[in-house]
Amino acid sequence: MPDGKSLLIGANDGTRVSLWVQPLDGPARKLDLGKLSPSSSFWVDVAVGKDSSIAFTATDPRSPAEVFVCHADGTSERQLTNLNAAWKAEVELSGPERFTFNRAGFDIDGWVMKPCRVDPARRSPALLWIHGGPHREFGYYFSLEFQVYAGAGYAVVYTNPRGSQGYGEAFSRAVVGDWGGGDFADIMAGLDEALRRSPFVDADRLGIMGISYGGYMTNWAIAHTNRFKAACAEGSISNIHTQVGTSDIGHVWTVSESGGSPPWEHPAWYVEHSPLTYVTRVETPLLIVHAEQDLRCPIDQAEQMFVALKKLGRDVTFVRFADESHTFSATGTPRHRLERYRLILEWFDTRLTPGR
């Protein structure tokens, strides 16, 4: 801050991202923001003026990011931009319904986003969407991804299982050394709770998808249950052992996620927690989407899963995107992002047959 005596910090705060003022010699104080949009999730796109005023972007499930300003103490909050007003007036947007459930001593957040148009005469298919990380998190922010699927006739289910950020270090670290264990059980329990609360969802027409760790969990899920009618794994991991030597963060991140031992010291963990180990169990049709310049989860991860399933005669399709990186679904070229949506919707439409 301009006074040189405090820091302005964006911090995960449950299902939100809040702004905090941290004095150099005292406790942090959360700014009381969000009065203009109670469900807003405040991001770290923040600037501080010479007069200590704060400019920040804020978003909620039905509103892409806009710019807001407030005083240094969080008062006099006001919205500066309304860049998306015309677009929002033209499209139909869905909003999520939050629920909380307890499993194995953890209180876990989940959401269900209804299709934009629910036909009372028939139930809708649903997509279970798993976040990456595993230390990422879902919250009350605008997701074009979810709006696309809701607009196409799907309910979207998503949760913050153990490993997610914003709930304290113990919750976030609970996934370390246990990939495919408690985290998978949390996600499946969240799906069951979402279905219990959502009579408009057809439990016999479920899809599953995710990117990065979400792709890993998609691969893992279809190797451990046949309840999904179709799946899409993007930028995924199938063999954690080879991830260590090929990923740009493999020896740091992958090894720490295993609990601290590299594969040459503890090979059993890497085998036991890799979806590829259980590939013979996979019966769910799988769409594999991967960027050829992905350094985070290199494309050999997709190739290994695809070759195994192809050799086993399973229903699998592999789509490679040239000149794109790990985050291309959000930051790639517009034509590739549109093509990605087309492929995914075509894949699920064919197998889940939503009434469109």
Give catalytic residues, as residue numbers: 212, 326
Distance (Å, whole) CA 355 – CA 165: 36
- The first and second tokens of residue 318, run together, are 């592999």
| Strand ranges in 24-153 using DSSP code E only, listed in sequence order | 29-30, 41-48, 54-60, 63-70, 78-79, 96-103, 106-113, 124-130
321 close to 289: Cβ distance less than 8 angstroms: yes
Q: Output the CA angle 22-160-156, nearest 5 degrees.
A: 125
CB within 8 Å of 202: residues ≥ 6 apart = 122, 123, 124, 125, 126
Alpha carbon distances (Å) from 132 to 161, 215, 253: 11, 8, 13
143 close to 65: Cβ distance less than 8 angstroms: no
Instruction: Give 118: exposed, middle or buried? Use CB within 10 Å, 0-12, 13-18, 19+.
Output: middle
Q: Print burial letters for 44-63: b (CB count within 10 Å at least 16), e (below 16).
A: eeeeeeeeeebebbbbbbbb
For residue 20, give the nearest of 64, 68, 74, 70 by alpha carbon: 74
309 close to 316: Cβ distance less than 8 angstroms: yes
Distance (Å, whole) CA 322 – CA 336: 9
Which ranges in 27-100 belong to alpha helices (H)? 85-90
